[in-house]
Amino acid sequence: MDIYWFFHPHHNPRLHSTALRQQELGELEQAATELLKSLTRARQRAARKPVPPLFPEHFDDVIKAARFISESLKTLCDAHPGDSKEALINLIKERSDFSGWEAWSSLVKEQLVEIGKEK
């Protein structure tokens, strides 16, 4: 997922006039969680075979910061009132022209079906 493309106003002018969606917050949270996992693995690798001047403890503050970001995004995502059916349809339309988003589109369409069942 090229998440930068969908959060930078230069690439995506809709950011100037569209409210942040819960789906987007969830994607940011997912990216932060993946970064945290990657940093943890990098620390483990540095512990197994340090490359001076880089040692495992140099990753500790970065990992704490990544954990804070991940947890903060989860809090924001949980506080979001949720996306409307219309918001999800618009999001699918925005991304449907980009390759590599087919599986994502299928998942969001399934969410739309579930929203329809709830009403």
Averaged pLDDT, 29-52? 95
- In DSSP terms, 54 is beta-bridged to 51
Span 102-114, pLDDT tens digits: 888 888 888 888 8
The pLDDT assigned to 91 comes to 86
C-alpha span between 100 and 108 (Å, rounded): 14
Band (7; pLDDT cuts 50, 70, 90): confident
Asked if pLDDT for residue 67 goes beyond 60, the answer is yes
pTM: 0.81
The pLDDT assigned to 1 comes to 52
* Mean confidence (pLDDT) of the chain: 87
